[in-house]
Amino acid sequence: MRILIYEALPDINRAPFIARLAGALQRQGHEVLLALEERLIYTLKGALTEQGVIDCRGVICAFIASNRALRYTVLPTAAHWYSGVTPSNLEAKLKELSSMRAAHFAELFDRFRPDLAMIWNGQAEHQQDFMAWLRAAGGCQTLFLECGWFPQREFFYWDRDGVNARCSIAGRPSPPLDDAQREQIRAWKSAYTAAYRTVVERRKQILVPLQVDTDTNVTLHSPFASMAEFLQHLAAAVRPDYDVIVRPHPMASYPYDIDCGRANFRVDRHSPLYELIAASEYVIGINSTVLLEALAFEKKVFAFGRGIFCGSNAVGRASLDEALPPKRLSDTAEAEALLFELVFRVQIPFSCQFIPLLQQDHVADLGALESEKISQWLADLPAQHSRLTACWSRGMYQLLAWMKRIKVRGAVNGVRGT
């Protein structure tokens, strides 16, 4: 099977993963091509973000170009397309790049003719040129990839329909468990939470995990435009006799004060996340992964946004017109069924060990492989970087990685993503 893995933002986290994924798929006998972009204009709601133009060349060289077993191609771009990007010329720049992308995708699909395309998330604005091309091209099946849950930094999952609120799991209840499966998930929960078993739960304590404002879970699947709006609603809705612990996302930089000023609200950036979950009676959020993690601790969990849990009653729905916390309870049986499905049927290690076998019956209407022509075209792909450029980029990558470690060193100890 010919598999195209498209990654518009091969950053320090994504590039190592797609390299491992490509290698695992190649070992299954598939012909794999990575389609990458060296630079990216990062926008949100059509506006230029503070990230501006993101340069991924160093990371590509460090993790992909340096691996001779991988086949890859990059969007052929000139530096002037990404220089001097401002809010005033943003629309013209994006239009020019969109036209150039369309021509590149046309040649890519004409030559490689993938049976299957893989893309991370698929909902970000910078991915929509590729998604539009997929819809127009037809005949190519798609798998969407996203982070897993337990823990998030170690797992991913793929789905035909999409990720998070758009994935196939979100549209249906999880299958009920038999006795053996019920015992299996209970044993897993006991082991997963064992380190926090001695933490005493505080009655009337609510943990509120915040998210990154630019996360598509917030921008597309949330009733709030930002964490500022979310906190403003909580300040008005939470009963005054409840204590609220606000947990900022470790990767977020909020351009506003997240302390709402209420005496029963407290911001906690430093306590271990699982310790906070274990100590809380309720966990209330938008659609954070922390809500799913809280199910493992058997907490009362409520969500305002839509997520992978939407087809289940495992997570309660919080309404904008009710006082918090809601008086109704989550469904314990459905929580165990959802956890079982996510843990034992869906998530895959980022190491790509034990990756599910992709077979031809996963893809409809396979055409003739014509492997000789495809292999020749792959062999003819030009070298994307000179050796000197590769060495320079690896050095730049190491410098950036070192600066990143210095920046986040105080925030990562004992902190999990939300």
Q: In 3-state terms, the chain is what percent helix, strand and coil (to 5)?
A: 40, 20, 40
Q: Do domains 2-148+348-412 and 176-346 have the same CATH topology?
A: yes
Tell me how far apart the alpha carbons of residues 122 and 360 are, in angstroms, rounded to a whole number: 23
Tell me how far apart the alpha carbons of residues 102 and 111 are, in angstroms, rounded to a whole number: 14
User: Could you give the count of Cα atoms lying within 13 Å of 216 in the half-sphere of its Cβ?
Assistant: 16
Dump pLDDT digits (tens) for 166-209: 999 998 999 999 999 999 999 999 999 999 999 999 999 999 99
pLDDT for the residue numbered 406: 46
Q: Going along 249-338, which residue ranges are E strands?
A: 265-267, 280-285, 300-303, 316-317
Tell me how far apart the alpha carbons of residues 17 and 64 are, in angstroms, rounded to a whole number: 10
Tell whether the model's pLDDT for residue 95 goes beyond 80. yes
pLDDT band for position 58 (cuts 50, 70, 90): confident
Number of H helices, E strands in the chain: 12, 15
How is the chain split into domains, by residue range? Answer: 2-148+348-412, 176-346
CB 87 within 8 A of CB 47: yes
pLDDT for the residue numbered 13: 87
CATH tag for 2-148+348-412 (out of 1.25.40, 2.40.50, 3.40.50, 3.20.19): 3.40.50
365 burial class (0-12, 13-18, 19+ CB within 10 angstroms)? exposed
Going by C-beta distance under 8 Å and a sequence separation of 6 or more, which residues neighbour residue 378?
31, 33, 71
Mean pLDDT of 7-11: 92
Tell whether the model's pLDDT for residue 418 goes beyond 90. no
pLDDT band for position 392 (cuts 50, 70, 90): low
Q: What mean pLDDT value characterizes the chain?
A: 86
Residue 39: its H or E element: strand 39-44
pLDDT for the residue numbered 260: 83
Tell me how far apart the alpha carbons of residues 72 and 65 are, in angstroms, rounded to a whole number: 8
- In the chain, % of residues over pLDDT 70: 86
pLDDT for the residue numbered 417: 31
Give φ, ψ of 51 to 5 degrees.
-65, -30
- CATH numeric code, 176-346: 3.40.50
- In the chain, % of residues over pLDDT 90: 67
Q: What is the pTM of this model?
A: 0.84
CA distances from 169 to 301, 307, 341, 358 (A): 18, 9, 9, 19
Dump pLDDT digits (tens) for 260-272: 889 999 999 999 9
∠ CA(133), CA(136), CA(142), 5° rounding?
Answer: 65
220 burial class (0-12, 13-18, 19+ CB within 10 angstroms)? middle
Tell whether the model's pLDDT for residue 399 goes beyond 80. no
> Cα 42 vs. chain centroid, distance in angstroms?
16
- As given in the structure block, the two tokens for residue 158 are 């793929």
Tell me how far apart the alpha carbons of residues 350 and 348 are, in angstroms, rounded to a whole number: 6
pLDDT for the residue numbered 227: 96
